[in-house]
Amino acid sequence: MNPIPISAEQSPLLFLELLYKLRVRDVMARDLVVIRRDATMRELQRLMQARRVSGVPVVENGRLFGIVSIEDLLQALDTHRMDEPVANFMAANVVTIEDDMPLAIAISYFNKYEYRRFPVLNASNEAVGIVTARSINTRLLVELFKELARIENQYVLPLSENASCYFQTFRVARSDFENAGTAATEIKNVLQKRGLDPKIIRRIAIAAYELEMNLVVHSDGGTLTFRADEGEVQLVAKDQGPGIADVELAMQEGWTTANDWVKSLGFGAGMGLPNAKRVSDEFHIASEPGKGTTVTIRDVLPPRAPQNPAS
């Protein structure tokens, strides 16, 4: 079968992958302009004019106390209160974004809250940056052009089907929880059309789902390749990072490197790889920190019952 080049019609998928591949830390402004609570609104005015910003987080010793905007400054001007402290005008209940959050989730915050900027906190709850629609758009355009250039000469193979063989490779994006499980569902559908025993289909579908979710939660994105012929089904999950430092530890039930945000979504319980191994006839994992991980699963299929000769 001849390879089919990626068409321009597939570019929305590439854009979606970028939204889940990029993190907030990749697009935020790190040169954070901040002000103290005891600074006056007049000082805020001079700071905004000098740095050409319309909103400033109120930060002391890395701790975020609030945010003041151009609207607050206008209120102070209108009421002749420019010598009062910023603390009297700042919004204290600030919606923040985590620096490890996927860009797709961060973008949804702009629609949900209708704010023009969000302070960014790290794992220690320290203010480390600020994200705006402009900073997101600028970085997305740069990365999209890079990605299109990278895949310009790449090819993908569609599902190959004949009397006895199926083959397909699925691309899985990091933190793409919205589409997680799509590959496993497609694999299940193919096996059902082939008429396999439902118990076997269930085992393979579980393994495929666990491998797919492992790519979504723990990797930087990768591929899940599915092959089925008369004698076996093979699944290969491959990614380019970050790799596993201790494979034996990673295979223990309940052990996980998922962050609190992923756990809050109900994922990252540390059962993925053990579950995949449990439902497979053969299980092999190879990983190197900084380079990536490859998991190969093989399930032996029973021979098909011979057809009765025509009488």
pLDDT of residue 269: 64
pLDDT digits (tens, 9 = 90+) for 231-268: 889 999 999 878 888 888 888 877 776 666 665 555 65
Q: Report the CATH architecture of 157-300.
A: 2-Layer Sandwich (3.30)
- The mean predicted confidence, pLDDT, of the chain is 81
Ranges of CATH 3.10.580.10 domains, the chain: 9-140
pLDDT at 88 over 60: yes
| Burial bucket for residue 223 (CB in 10 Å: 0-12, 13-18, 19+) | middle
pTM metric for this prediction: 0.50
Query: What confidence tier does 166 reach under pLDDT thresholds 50, 70, 90?
Result: confident
Mean pLDDT of 145-151: 64
Give yes or no for a contact between 104 and 98, defined as CB atoms under 8 angstroms apart.
no
In the chain, CATH 3.30.565.10 covers 157-300
Q: How confident is the model at residue 16 (pLDDT cuts 50, 70, 90)?
A: low
Contact 22, 139 (CB under 8 A): yes
Strands 97-98 and 222-228: unpaired
Give, in words, the CATH class of 9-140: alpha beta
Which are the contacts of 185, defined by CB distance < 8 A and separation ≥ 6? 205
Nearest to 91 by CA among 69, 110, 70, 75: 69
User: Which two three-digit tokens encode residue 227?
Assistant: 């092959």
237-263 exposure pattern, b = at least 16 Cβ within 10 A, e = fewer = bbbeebbbeeeeebbeeeebebeebbe
